[in-house]
Amino acid sequence: MPGGRDPRHRRRAVSGESGVSRPTVEREDRDIGLQAALVQPALNGSWGVPPSRMTRISSFAEVDEVFKSKDFAQAGNGHGDGAVIYGKTLISLSGDDHFERRRVESVLFRKESLLRYETEILEVALTLALDECVAGRDADGVVRADLVTLLPSVILRVSSNLVGLDGLDDRARFDRLRSLVPKLGEGAAAQYTFRDHAEVIREAREARDIFVSEFFRPAWERRAAMIAASARGELAGSEIPVDLITIMIRNPGHFTKWDDEVYANEAILYIVASSGNPTSRAMDAMANLQDWLHEHPEDLARVEDPEFLRLALTESLRLKMGVPFQVRRAVRDTVLTSSGRAFSEGDYVALEHGFASRDAELFGADADRYDLRRTPPSFGFAFGGGPHTCNGKGMSIGEPNARGDAPLGLLVRIIGRLFAAGLRLDPARPPRLRPDTIRNEWSSFPVLLEKL
């Protein structure tokens, strides 16, 4: 790009007048204003909607109202170019179809399931990953890791269990699955790429074919056989795992409303949606928390407290969304109560939820500031809103845990384990953003683990 550095990236703001403290390790940032400048080309190109039928809104009240309104349907995720992977999935549906899908899959997200993912899978995967880091200790005695490599692998252990994929104790097989995730993720978010969309979609289809033949179909056939054996009285029902694939097999009345693509796409949804964005947001949170602790050493002792870590994560999530906008389509003529803004049936609206999550009307004049003293804490629209509130929310951030029996949240646990391992951003290798997408995802995030 002429004129020097690509304006889509810049160093994090460090000006004193903005109230932002100097980061301990300067890192690339895609400023929210710069990201917003990229919205319209994406809207025009990927959705094919003329600007006259697409309204951009960014106030908290309007975004909140549209997210919750039954007058608007999902038109973003799973629509446009991203339909190649997310089409027909939960995230793409609206109305009764969305309700039914959410209902049949809800058992995957009940408290007992979340606790099992955390304690039986995540903690084990983290221990193994950190052991590998120690085994790879550098010649200078320092343990280094790149979280862009480490975290998606750890999370994939959880998501593959939720979906019901088999044989992943075989490291080569797990690595094969791991290698497919970036291409699948690119296809699912093809609306946001700077690359040639047709090429991204072609690569995603190839990855999808491999996923289906090597991982999804064998798992499906094994579970179908188990369910049949159970029906014949040859296998106890308790022997059949509770995972997405068994749920899909057992709910044909719902899933056969779509063609056969729905099954693998639904599985890929959970594999992909749990990987890129959540792990990058966890990296943001760790960087922000490191900066905060540098400025507020009185909080150092609190990093062992999950409630404090959840607070640190929550405030970080509010300030950085994975994508700059969500898209909805008016299904009937309607007027927003919060603003009086009118929409005709068929109009599109781009919800700039990143701006809405920094709305000074709600969060005050210092809304852009990372502040762990902010009350009440809010993650803004980090998990979307309305029916499409991310069903990974509870899995990611858990819930207040006064009785000690609630899920802590996968990301809370990850941050806690890494800080306990002495996490510090590598000052010699600042994190880098992916240059090929509007999405806020890291391409490298090197850290030191100084207590290992």
Partner 1 sequence: MTDSPAQSVRVDAGLCQSTGYCARIAPTVFHVPEGGPAEVIDDHPAAELADALREAEDACPAAAIRVTAAAR
- Record the tokens describing residue 358, joined without a space: 């920094």
First to last CA, the chain: 42
Please pick, from the candidates 102, 205, 369, 424, the single residue that binds partner 1 as defined by CB under 8 A: 102
Separation between Cα atoms, residue 274 and residue 381, nearest integer Å = 17
Stretch that binds partner 1, among 121-129, 211-219, 387-395, 411-419 (CB under 8 A): 387-395
- Record the tokens describing residue 334, joined without a space: 């309607």
Residue whose CB is less far from partner 1, 250 or 424: 250
Interface pattern 311-330 for partner 1 (x via CB under 8 A): --------------------
The verdict on 337 binding partner 1 (CB under 8 A) reads yes
Separation between Cα atoms, residue 183 and residue 230, nearest integer Å = 37
Interface pattern 110-139 for partner 1 (x via CB under 8 A): x-----------------------------
Specify whether the CB–CB gap between 446 and 426 falls below 8 A.
yes
The verdict on 331 binding partner 1 (CB under 8 A) reads no
Residue whose CB is less far from partner 1, 39 or 114: 114
CB of 434 to partner 1, least distance (A): 29
Residue 288: which of 10, 8, 12, 11 has the closest Cα? 12
- Record the tokens describing residue 177, joined without a space: 């699955």
Residue whose CB is less far from partner 1, 407 or 446: 407
The verdict on 106 binding partner 1 (CB under 8 A) reads yes
User: Please, what's the b/e burial string for 67-85 (b: 16 or more CB within 10 A of its CB; e: otherwise)?
Assistant: bebebbbbbbbbbbbbbbb
Residue 426: which of 447, 451, 396 has the closest Cα? 447
Please pick, from the candidates 394, 416, 430, 446, the single residue that binds partner 1 as defined by CB under 8 A: 394
- Helix %, strand %, coil % of the chain (to 5): 55, 10, 35
The verdict on 228 binding partner 1 (CB under 8 A) reads no
The verdict on 109 binding partner 1 (CB under 8 A) reads yes
Stretch that binds partner 1, among 50-58, 96-104, 167-175, 417-425 (CB under 8 A): 96-104
Stretch that binds partner 1, among 194-202, 280-288, 325-333, 393-401 (CB under 8 A): 393-401
- Sole residue written with tokens 């798992």: 219
The verdict on 343 binding partner 1 (CB under 8 A) reads no
Residue whose CB is less far from partner 1, 106 or 339: 106
Residues from 147 through 166 that contact partner 1 (CB under 8 A): none
Please pick, from the candidates 21, 230, 389, 443, the single residue that binds partner 1 as defined by CB under 8 A: 389
The verdict on 385 binding partner 1 (CB under 8 A) reads yes
Q: Is 19 left (phi over 0), alpha (psi -120 to 50) or beta?
A: left
Beta bridge partners of 423: 449
What sections of 164-275 are H helices per DSSP?
171-188, 197-211, 217-231, 244-250, 252-255, 261-273
Please pick, from the candidates 103, 217, 296, 332, the single residue that binds partner 1 as defined by CB under 8 A: 103
Q: Could you tell me how many residues make up the chain? A: 452
Residue whose CB is less far from partner 1, 68 or 202: 68
- The helices-and-strands tally (H runs, E runs) of the chain is 20, 13
The verdict on 107 binding partner 1 (CB under 8 A) reads yes
Please pick, from the candidates 67, 220, 355, 445, the single residue that binds partner 1 as defined by CB under 8 A: 67
Name the residues that contact partner 1, by CB under 8 A: 67-68, 99, 102-103, 106-107, 109-110, 337, 385-389, 391, 393-394, 399
